[in-house]
Structure 1
Amino acid sequence: MKFSVTLFLTSFLLFQVGSHALAQKKSAPNIIFIFSDDHAYQAIGAYGNKLAKTPHIDRLAKEGVLLTNNIVTNSICGPSRATLLTGKYSHKNGYKRNDRTLFDTNQTLFPELLRKNGYQTAWIGKMHLNSLPVGFDYWNILPGQGNYYNPDFISQPNDTTRYNGYVSDVITQFSTDWLDKRDQSKPFFLIVGHKATHREWLPDLQDLGAYDDVEFPLPANFYDDYKGRNAAREQDMTIEKTMRLKQDLKVDADYEKDWTYNRFSPEQLKVFKTYYDKVSKEPAEKKLTGRALTEWKYQRYLKDYLSTANSLDRNIGKLLDYVDKSGLSENTVVIYASDQGFYLGEHGWFDKRFIYEESLKTPFIIRYPGVTNAGSKLDNLVLNIDWAPTVLDIAGTKVPSDIQGKSFLPLLKNPDTAKASWRKDAYYHYYEFPEPHHVYPHFGIRTDRYKLAYFYGGADSWELYDLKTDPTEMVNLYGSRNSEKIIADLKSRLKSLMNQYQDSEALEILAKAKK
């Protein structure tokens, strides 16, 4: 009898422990991280754009928190993705430039930590790291940059298959298919990597001409003369000179020889070509030259860019609808971010790279039911090294010591309390030079008001901006009257950040930098 009672009590306790563990696992939130490419925050309605059509991203912002100062640590695609996976600066994760470097998958990758903590993980869509995914139960990714039309995908073990359709639609279909077939006894973490809005901006057929009735106002600094900013003057990323009529804007495109169009079906190409044949006639018919041609290029650039973003937004809406209809919304965190910002004519540019605001800041929106206040904003300086530890924190997974970022979950839960101990400045370091856009390597510090940067590798010059009085960064105050104390303070803080993040290369350059 004693044996039976003991056995019963033991079984009961084990059942209770098991039930509690199961309940804990079930309560762990699912996490979907939607990650776009080159999508500028200033191209989103929720960030103030009144002409862009982004109803679904805007919906996410209304239901979650919009970060107004989410900053990347190296404004370029591959390195930003490496930072997402590692929570570390480029000099620590080994991926500094967009080149043939193989991303080191032997280092700590936060999705693998989620797996060890009971999560089912997947990456679907664009990865762009010259390596196959590690730390994911399932993956199906675009090779390299991928194609907008009828794209190839690489899936386990290493099979490449072509799929018919537009890339944003295909990525969403794969994502919902995986969600349908996942192990429902586990919480999940899913990265949805979109190709849009990467150059050369090929809109979906249904979005051709979506902005043809819109006249976009020129940015106030479109005709920037780059006075006092040598690095900005010597770049090669202007709409006027760098943006290509044929390849970028599809004016008299070579549909037979240009690889951009070799994926189109005859039916797709007919519709696409018919639209751009009309566009191609405009410069000659209007006899455009000089500034008139430059401004026409700007209009066409924005029309193509935002039309391409339409498919991105529409597919975010499809995924949000799936989450709602599947009964997942109450226990699923949804994040939207881009790999960095992008220039939409500011300073006369397209592309990214510079420490200036448009490429330094990236959109980031998070909806966390029961935790975040719907429609709120977070103005604190958050870095992309913080993304990985925040996701780990949300999932109840310990953050390892080699991750350099810090979870901003406390800011989401108790912003008024947590902001007192949050960072007051942010560190940035860009490397890729001279190709493809001749942007000199540089590092710098961004505070809530000031920005100090040093361009090296031939530029060898300092720049200082007061973002309160000069938000478009047109007046370099370095060396100006009464700037000495500000510069000394910022240089001291910059050096401290270099030491904190162990950027020895930058410390050596700083020691030799011109005063």
Structure 2
Amino acid sequence: MRSILPALALVVLAAPALAADRPNIVVMMTDDQRHDYMSCAGHPFLKTPNMDRIAKEGFRYTNAFVTNALCAPSRATLMTGQYSHLNGVRDNMGTTLNPNAPWLPDELRKLGYEVAFCGKSHVPGHFRDKTWDYYFGFQGQGNYLKPLIAESGPDGKIGPDKPYDGWIDDVVTDKALAWVKKPRAKPFALFLFFKSPHRAWQPAARHKDLYAGAAVKKPALWDDPGQGKPRAFLQAANMIGQYPDTKDYDGMIRDYARCITGVDDNVGKVLNTLDEQKIADTTAVMYTSDNGFFLGEWQRFDKRFMHEPSVRVPLLLKVPKALAKDCVPPGSQPGAMVINPDIAPTVLELAGGAPPKAMQGRSVLPFARLPPAGPLPPEMAPREAWYYEYFEFPDPSHNVEKQRGVRTTKWKLIHYYDPPFKFKDAYELYDLEKDPEERVNLANRPAFQGTVKELQEKMAALRKELGSTDAK
């Protein structure tokens, strides 16, 4: 599935540049941020001027998805370029990283980069067994206030967790930027992974009253009963009101938006620091989330399922000035389907390198490049379909069953393949062109059995290609 490197990258590989001539790279990731919770994506009251700035000066990929909508698996996929079934981190319940999986930070170090990790990993070990030029990270979910965070010293050794005053994403960003400002002879790569807007939501004190007067509207699917959806979906423990922090819907939405605004403040700090250090033109900036989030669709919250609110994420990318001349105009919105295994190959292409063969994604840069006059080269051909997988069952909190699925530009097939009931093989099928909100499940209708079979075959082919051959 890996793309062929475009001509520009091939030139770089043929005549390697000095490490100092390569761009700096910043990759930012939020936790549970939906694709449409940015003002540049049309949100009615949330203001995100700094995320918007990346989209305006770069690109907003409007069809970006995650292949396992859960914290730890998504972060492991970003760092390895591999699906969960291959990199080993299948869930949030302790599955560990495959030691043979490729590791993006190590690939960057081979290319001459200094690499830092700051923030939330959620993967067992907290990335502390890896090699970093700087580390400032916390265990598990972390605390919004008075967070416990461990920091590496000049010798690279990571010290004990200790408390810090302040709101967690402010604290982490300030430490990350102090490292960015240090003099260095090599380019840097910074992975800055925020806690926000993970529940239970605690905005920064400066935002506690923000959006108090905003009109919170329930989504169009609020009153949709999910008729026709299988029991595997309807039985999940993710209904609004089932947990204390979801009982007040308006307050929940406001706090979610306030936490995102806190992130946006810190994105602004990053962009301003790049400007102040006079390295903005030589730095690539990427912004994404580990998964989406239901916010009232079918009166549900959380993620995990393959439905659009859960799997669609923001993906913003501003490329260095030297690359921008070969791209579509700033502010463009590439519409090709891209997935989170694509992030590692993209970062490596930005760095002037090539992804290891074990990575399963393909760079998203070609979709932002100016198309040639003739036929599209293979790396610019849009992805026709992608595969989804979810493993965390049984799970004591949300009761979401194992599932796998396939999505094309028109169709989505979801397969609950191992339900603990008398019946087996529950399916959902949606025509995304006619039913983008996924209201009408067509899976059991006789007229669509041919489509179900075709998508089953496509999913089987993708699983074979990706090495997902286990029965579970």
TM-score (ref. length: structure 1):
0.81
**What is the Cα deviation at residue 449 of structure 1?**
1.0
Q: How does 1:93-242 map to 2 (within 5 A)?
A: 93-105=87-99, 107-131=101-125, 132-133=127-128, 134-156=130-152, 157-159=157-159, 160-183=161-184, 185-230=185-230, 231-240=232-241, 242=242
**What is the Cα deviation at residue 485 of structure 1?**
2.9
Q: Distance in 2 between matches of 1:44 and 1:220?
A: 19
| Identical amino acids, percent of aligned pairs | 36
Listed as ranges, the gaps of 5+ residues in structure 2 are: 1-14
Distance 1:442 1:338, change over 3 A: same
Equivalent position of 1:282 in the other structure: none
Q: Distance in 2 between matches of 1:424 and 1:107?
A: 26
**What is the Cα deviation at residue 105 of structure 1?**
4.8
Provide the alpha-carbon RMSD of the alignment.
1.9
May I ask how many residue pairs the two structures share in their alignment?
437
Match of 2:317 among 350, 358, 366: 366
**What is the Cα deviation at residue 335 of structure 1?**
0.4
> Are 1:422 and 2:382 matched, yes or no?
yes
- The amino acid of 1:331's aligned partner reads T
**What is the Cα deviation at residue 23 of structure 1?**
6.2
Q: Distance in 1 between matches of 2:289 and 2:136?
A: 19
Match of 2:409 among 448, 467, 470: 448
Q: Distance in 1 between matches of 2:35 and 2:309?
A: 8
Listed as ranges, the gaps of 5+ residues in structure 1 are: 1-20, 250-293, 510-515
Equivalent position of 1:498 in the other structure: 463
Q: Distance in 2 between matches of 1:41 and 1:23?
A: 36
Distance 1:438 1:324, change over 3 A: same
- The amino acid of 1:30's aligned partner reads N
Q: Is the 8 A contact 2:81 2:360 kept in 1?
A: yes
**What is the Cα deviation at residue 58 of structure 1?**
1.1
Distance 1:121 1:453, change over 3 A: same
Q: Distance in 1 between matches of 2:269 and 2:151?
A: 23
**What is the Cα deviation at residue 26 of structure 1?**
2.9
Q: Distance in 1 between matches of 2:417 and 2:235?
A: 13
Q: Distance in 1 between matches of 2:238 and 2:282?
A: 43
Q: Distance in 1 between matches of 2:16 and 2:183?
A: 17
> Are 1:316 and 2:277 matched, yes or no?
no
**What is the Cα deviation at residue 486 of structure 1?**
2.0
Q: Distance in 2 between matches of 1:146 and 1:77?
A: 13
Q: Is the 8 A contact 2:108 2:351 kept in 1?
A: yes
Q: Distance in 2 between matches of 1:135 and 1:423?
A: 34
Q: Distance in 2 between matches of 1:344 and 1:326?
A: 39
Distance 1:465 1:182, change over 3 A: farther
Q: Distance in 1 between matches of 2:369 and 2:45?
A: 33
Which secondary structure does the structure 2 equivalent of 1:196 belong to?
coil
Q: Is the 8 A contact 1:150 1:166 kept in 2?
A: yes
Which secondary structure does the structure 2 equivalent of 1:82 belong to?
helix
TM-score (ref. length: structure 2):
0.89
**What is the Cα deviation at residue 22 of structure 1?**
9.8
Q: Distance in 1 between matches of 2:453 and 2:96?
A: 39
Distance 1:420 1:161, change over 3 A: closer
CA-to-aligned-CA distance 1:200-253 (integer Å, 9 cap, x gap) = 00011110121211121111111231211122211110113x231xxx26xxxx
> Are 1:431 and 2:357 matched, yes or no?
no
**What is the Cα deviation at residue 374 of structure 1?**
0.9
Which secondary structure does the structure 2 equivalent of 1:158 belong to?
coil
Equivalent position of 1:378 in the other structure: 334
CA-to-aligned-CA distance 1:464-501 (integer Å, 9 cap, x gap) = 00111111111001132431332222121111101110
**What is the Cα deviation at residue 91 of structure 1?**
0.7
> Are 1:346 and 2:297 matched, yes or no?
yes
Distance 1:49 1:225, change over 3 A: same
> Are 1:29 and 2:30 matched, yes or no?
no
Equivalent position of 1:263 in the other structure: none
Q: Distance in 2 between matches of 1:106 and 1:496?
A: 24
Q: Distance in 2 between matches of 1:447 and 1:412?
A: 20
- The amino acid of 2:352's aligned partner reads G
Q: Distance in 2 between matches of 1:154 and 1:128?
A: 14
Q: Distance in 2 between matches of 1:78 and 1:182?
A: 33
Match of 2:349 among 384, 393, 405: 393
**What is the Cα deviation at residue 444 of structure 1?**
0.5
Q: How does 1:448-487 map to 2 (within 5 A)?
A: 448-458=409-419, 460-487=425-452
Q: Distance in 1 between matches of 2:95 and 2:455?
A: 33
Q: Distance in 2 between matches of 1:233 and 1:152?
A: 37
- The answer to which structure has the higher helix fraction is 1
Q: Is the 8 A contact 1:32 1:191 kept in 2?
A: yes
**Moved runs in structure 1, 4+ residues, more than 6 A?**
none
Equivalent position of 2:4 in the other structure: none
CA-to-aligned-CA distance 1:41-84 (integer Å, 9 cap, x gap) = 12111112121121111111111110111111100000000101
**What is the Cα deviation at residue 106 of structure 1?**
5.2
Q: Distance in 1 between matches of 2:115 and 2:70?
A: 25
Distance 1:478 1:122, change over 3 A: same
Greater gyration radius? 1
Q: Which moved more, 1:31-40 or 1:406-415?
A: 406-415
Distance 1:22 1:378, change over 3 A: closer
Q: Is the 8 A contact 1:225 1:233 kept in 2?
A: no
Q: Is the 8 A contact 2:34 2:292 kept in 1?
A: yes
- The amino acid of 1:425's aligned partner reads A
